[in-house]
């Protein structure tokens, strides 16, 4: 095949993947806007501020609990698939799933144990310690669903991945709206954990539809994928922790200095900007990462893939960025 044909094929593949994941991202954006609007009407600025604080706690705790396994898992799954070693692929899947199950449980237990000091830090009182205990379920669900989504992503089941995101966004929105409509402020914790729990169920369903390879697992066969998952995952965890920790610190600082109402206004603006900016990055990144991993040892192919991805990213992102600047 000629180089020109290779590039056309690569570009077509990028556009196809972007269209599939982009469609699910667009649905997530619409459902997120609807949910934010309903929440704002039912809860007001103070309720939205509290929602943002609890969401930041969940994101930060989920980042620590996840240990970067979702990101490193995509790489290891894609690498094992590209090598054609079915045993290595099966062992990597098993190591990833069990690691997420255990670290998620440990993270949830840690949040329950520290719920009172965290409540004092976030709100200045221990009255919301019970709500933080609810978030423990969300931490566990976030970690396990992240591993299951990583398996789908690494194997490049983009259709399954898109369905997971669509059903997760729809189910999370419906549960969140119903909880807040029924219980008002008391339902905020349920609203925060709704999407992770729905994602857990849906991702479990689609992950278990993939044909499994039966292998005998021992510590010797699992130790290598475990070591690689955690060594790379720790680096991802640190970078993500800086990002989520900064967002958490900003919301806590706003609440302490300006009050929960100001945090609510900030959360509303942040939600809109994050949804739109994440649209292009999410739609392109889901396919790019496993594809890049599969050809990482081929410098020429890697260079061509990165160039194609960067060019299309600029072309697709420009309209989104310009439209946001005019708002």
Summarised one tens digit per residue, pLDDT across range 288-299 is 778 777 777 888
Residue 230 neighbours by CB distance under 10 Å: 17
Asked whether the predicted pLDDT for residue 102 surpasses 50, the reply is yes
Stretch 9-19: mean pLDDT: 67
pTM: 0.86
Name residues whose C-beta falls within 8 Å of residue 17's C-beta, 6 or more positions apart in sequence. Answer: 158, 283, 284, 286, 287, 288
The Cα–Cα gap between 18 and 116 comes to: 43
Give the single-character DSSP code of 214: P
Domain ranges of the chain: 3-326
The Cα–Cα gap between 319 and 54 comes to: 33
Residue 2: which pLDDT band, with cuts at 50, 70 and 90?
very low
The Cα–Cα gap between 188 and 307 comes to: 44
Summarised one tens digit per residue, pLDDT across range 183-233 is 988 899 999 999 999 999 999 999 998 877 778 878 888 999 999 999 999
Stretch 101-129: mean pLDDT: 91
CA distance readout (Å), 120 to 91, 205, 229, 292: 43, 38, 35, 44
Identify the pLDDT of residue 173. Answer: 94
Stretch 3-21: mean pLDDT: 64
pLDDT mean across residues, the chain: 85
Identify the pLDDT of residue 1. Answer: 42
Identify the pLDDT of residue 24. Answer: 79
Stretch 249-263: mean pLDDT: 86
DSSP 244-298: HHHHHHHHHHHHHHH-HHHHHHHHHHHHHHHHHHHHHHHHHHHHHHHHHHHTTT-
Contact indicator for 149, 161 with CB cutoff of 8 Å = yes
CA distance readout (Å), 320 to 165, 275, 279, 323: 21, 11, 9, 5
Higher-scoring residue by pLDDT: 219, 94:
94
Summarised one tens digit per residue, pLDDT across range 259-284 is 888 888 787 777 666 665 566 666 66
Residue 130: which pLDDT band, with cuts at 50, 70 and 90?
confident
Which of 16-25, 172-181, 185-194 has the weakest average pLDDT? 16-25
Asked whether the predicted pLDDT for residue 182 surpasses 90, the reply is yes
Asked whether the predicted pLDDT for residue 98 surpasses 60, the reply is yes
Identify the pLDDT of residue 52. Answer: 86
Share of the chain above pLDDT 90, in %: 44
Which of 71-85, 132-146, 196-210 has the weakest average pLDDT? 71-85
Contact indicator for 23, 162 with CB cutoff of 8 Å = yes
Give the single-character DSSP code of 327: -
Stretch 306-319: mean pLDDT: 73
Asked whether the predicted pLDDT for residue 5 surpasses 60, the reply is no
Asked whether the predicted pLDDT for residue 146 surpasses 70, the reply is yes
Q: Name the H helices within 114-157.
A: 115-123, 129-154
Stretch 44-70: mean pLDDT: 91
């Amino acid at each position: 095949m000629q180089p020109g044909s290779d590039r056309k094929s690569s570009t077509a593949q990028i556009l196809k993947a972007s269209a599939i994941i982009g469609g699910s991202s667009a649905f997530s954006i619409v459902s997120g806007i609807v949910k934010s609007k309903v929440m704002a009407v039912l809860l007001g600025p103070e309720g939205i501020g509290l929602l943002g604080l609890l969401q930041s706690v969940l994101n930060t705790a989920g980042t620590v609990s996840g240990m970067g396994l979702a990101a490193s898992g995509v790489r290891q799954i894609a690498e094992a698939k590209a090598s054609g070693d079915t045993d290595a692929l099966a062992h990597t899947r098993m190591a990833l799933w069990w690691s997420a199950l255990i670290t998620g449980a440990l993270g949830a237990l840690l949040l329950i144990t520290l719920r009172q000091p965290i409540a004092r830090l976030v709100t200045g009182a221990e009255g919301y310690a019970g709500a933080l205990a609810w978030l423990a379920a969300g931490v566990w669900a976030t970690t396990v669903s992240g591993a299951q989504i990583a398996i789908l992503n690494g194997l490049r089941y983009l259709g399954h991945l898109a369905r997971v995101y669509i059903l997760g966004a729809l189910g999370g929105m419906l549960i969140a709206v119903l909880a807040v409509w029924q219980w008002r402020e008391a339902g905020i914790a349920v609203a925060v954990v709704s999407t992770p729990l729905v994602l857990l169920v849906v991702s479990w369903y689609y992950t278990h539809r993939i044909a499994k390879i039966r292998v005998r697992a021992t510590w010797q066969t699992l130790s290598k994928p475990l070591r690689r998952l955690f060594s790379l995952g720790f680096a991802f965890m640190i970078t993500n922790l800086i990002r989520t920790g900064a967002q958490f610190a900003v919301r806590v600082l706003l609440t302490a200095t300006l009050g929960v109402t100001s945090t609510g206004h900030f959360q509303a603006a942040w939600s809109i900007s994050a949804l739109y900016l994440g649209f292009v990055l999410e739609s392109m990144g889901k396919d790019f990462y496993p594809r890049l991993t599969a050809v990482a040892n081929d410098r020429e192919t890697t260079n061509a893939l990165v160039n194609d991805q960067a060019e299309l990213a600029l072309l697709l992102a420009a309209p989104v960025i310009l439209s946001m600047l005019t708002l």
